[in-house]
Amino acid sequence: MGPERDPGSGERRSPQPAPGRGLEAGSELGSSVEAGEKHAGRVSANGASAERSSAHKVEIEGLGVTFYSHRHSDGFEALRNINLSVGDGEFVSILGRSGCGKSTFFNTVAGLIEPTTGTVRCDGELIGGQPGHAGYMMQRDHLFPWRSVRDNVVVGLDVLGENKRASRRRADELFPRFGLSGFEDVYPEALSGGMRQRAALMRTMLLERPLLLLDEPFGALDAITRAEMQAWLLEIWSEFRRTVLFITHDVEEAVFLSDRVVVLGGPPGEVLVSAEVPIERPREYAEVVTSDEFTRVKHEILDVISR
């Protein structure tokens, strides 16, 4: 479905956030998940993997998004004909220049924006601008300065009306795993950049959605903290085994973390390539980044980006 027409004015409106459940509630939805099959193909164009997993968590077909606004009364095409399937338990990075449509893509997969053309499915269910199936860590961490760290990480559960004491008990069990022990009662201003990111990720994980959308979670971090966070994220991912879509500008980060790297060109955002990363797990940073396979995949991606 495309942008709606206002029946009163006959004017087209921009895609709007889906009605209703507020910021946090807009970022989740769910069902159960089992560790998944992995794609085993190599590089192929337009998101098609050479060998496709039979258990797709997310299936995107012919997705396009056009925004209508005062600046672009004829419409601004942000995404065009995106085709992508993500296997259950797969870790897929989305790479692309600033403004190519990565966050718009996530907003659409999360159900916050209705596709103008094409479809997004999660577990076979059509996501037509209806949120609820994904844990979404947005580009900024959105920690509330007036809530303690504990109250921040459970805010999504509070919005859902879960029992407050039970939510906080669950959160307290996870604080050590997220490197935040002892910071439960402080306010976000007292956290370092890396700690803020871990708190935001913990909030996303606590919603227990089987699909995680992480929009540049480490973009603002220095190189050393970033490397630590990458290693930590892989541990968390292998422990919790969710399907992850991860936006980054960093080619090495994408290759190190992912089963597959999807490069978007644009605007309008289009899939330029979907490159498999056939490197075994668990991955040890120094070993992986000096391997021939890592260098080969990195160069394949850089070739596409520099075209």
Chain residues binding ligand ATP by CB under 6 A are 14, 67, 69, 76, 78, 96, 98-104, 139, 267
Q: Which does residue 93 bind out of Mg ion, ligand ATP, none, counting CB within 5 to 8 angstroms by kind? A: none
Question: Shortest approach of ligand ATP to residue 95 CB, angstroms?
Answer: 10
Which residue, 193 or 267, has its beta carbon nearer to ligand ATP? Answer: 267
HSE on the CB side for 154, CA within 13 Å? 22
Question: Shortest approach of ligand ATP to residue 244 CB, angstroms?
Answer: 17
Question: Shortest approach of Mg ion to residue 143 CB, angstroms?
Answer: 18
Question: Shortest approach of ligand ATP to residue 146 CB, angstroms?
Answer: 27
Question: Which tokens hold the place of 275?
Answer: 């490159």
Contact assessment for residue 186 and residue 223, using Cβ atoms and an 8 Å cutoff? no
HSE on the CB side for 244, CA within 13 Å? 28
Rounded alpha-carbon distances, angstroms, from residue 228 to 92, 142, 231, 293: 19, 22, 5, 22
Which residue, 105 or 183, has its beta carbon nearer to Mg ion? Answer: 105
Which residue, 95 or 157, has its beta carbon nearer to Mg ion? Answer: 95
**Residue least distant from Mg ion (Cβ):** 103
Q: Judge if the upstream peptide bond of residue 267 is cis by omega within 30 degrees of 0.
A: yes
Which residue, 89 or 269, has its beta carbon nearer to ligand ATP? Answer: 269
Rg (CA), the chain: 19
Q: Which does residue 100 bind out of Mg ion, ligand ATP, none, counting CB within 5 to 8 angstroms by kind? A: ligand ATP
Q: How far is CA 58 from the centre of its chain?
A: 12
Contact assessment for residue 34 and residue 23, using Cβ atoms and an 8 Å cutoff? no
Q: Which does residue 104 bind out of Mg ion, ligand ATP, none, counting CB within 5 to 8 angstroms by kind? A: ligand ATP
290: left (phi over 0), alpha (psi -120 to 50) or beta: alpha
Which residue, 99 or 176, has its beta carbon nearer to ligand ATP? Answer: 99
Question: Shortest approach of Mg ion to residue 229 CB, angstroms?
Answer: 18
